[in-house]
Amino acid sequence: MLKVIAEDFIKPECIGIVMPLYAELVEKTRQEPQCIAYDLFTDRKDLGHFVFIEEWPDRAALDAHCRTGHFTRLVPLINRHQRRKGTVILMDPFTHDAERGTPARE
Amino acid sequence: MLKVIAEDFIKPECIGIVMPLYAELVEKTRQEPQCIAYDLFTDRKDLGHFVFIEEWPDRAALDAHCRTGHFTRLVPLINRHQRRKGTVILMDPFTHDAERGTPARE
């Protein structure tokens, strides 16, 4: 399992422009057969700060998502209105092996 | 609904120390009656970067979590091993009112 946090930082005056683009991106991505979760949130302290929390079976599925028609069309349209470059974190679920006292990685 | 991302940055040499503390924090927090989700992840590119993705009914529930015995005991023990201060983002689910073309906030 691959968990992803992707953060976008949009100029405040452009929020109204990106909202329908994000809505379409969420709707279409959730229809991808490999998408487990694709949820979008907004920062309470910064409405131009959009945060995706995603779940994919693996990296190949995320890469396939980034090659879809909706992604390659909508993301550049959104990114025109960035105030700074977005960030992406790829993550594994925390697991702890109490016997060894060390991270239990797959 | 309140979604939370809380990020910790732990010194690489201290990861083995914090692992059981995080395991206990997750186990005990999930037993809180108001906890909807409390999942911990590690950054694939930085094992000392721990990321909580949380869900609470509201801010009062999050504040109550931060006052629990397990939180007030374990978090300072974890924070001793930080390499830099953690961050917290409080978020609302993205909603878009297509009629108005603007954010539809609760």
pLDDT digits (tens, 9 = 90+) for B55-83: 999 999 999 999 999 999 999 999 999 99
Say if residue B100's pLDDT is above 70: no
The pLDDT score that the predictor gives to residue B60 is 98
* A90 close to B (CB below 8 A): yes
pLDDT band at A31 (very low <50, low <70, confident <90, very high): very high
Is the Cα torsion angle A38, B102, A46, B3 positive or negative in sign? Answer: negative
- Where do runs of H (alpha helix) occur along chain A? 15-30, 59-66, 69-79
Q: Looking at this predicted complex, what is its ipTM?
A: 0.91
Say if residue A38's pLDDT is above 90: yes
In chain A, which residues have their Cβ closer than 8 Å to the Cβ of B45?
89-90
Which structure tokens are listed for A70?
A: 């909706």
Whole-angstrom distance, CA of residue B29 vs CA of residue B34: 9
The pLDDT score that the predictor gives to residue A96 is 85
Say if residue A52's pLDDT is above 70: yes
The pLDDT score that the predictor gives to residue B106 is 43
Domain B2-93 has CATH 3.40.50.970: no
* A15 close to B (CB below 8 A): yes
Between A18 and B98, residue with greater pLDDT: A18
Between A16 and A102, residue with greater pLDDT: A16
> Tokens 């309140």 belong to which residue?
B2
pLDDT digits (tens, 9 = 90+) for B18-48: 999 999 999 999 999 999 999 999 999 999 9
* A102 close to B (CB below 8 A): yes
> Tokens 């970067």 belong to which residue?
B49
DSSP A44-60: TTEEEEEEEEEEESSHH
In chain A, which residues have their Cβ closer than 8 Å to the Cβ of B103?
15-16, 19, 42, 47
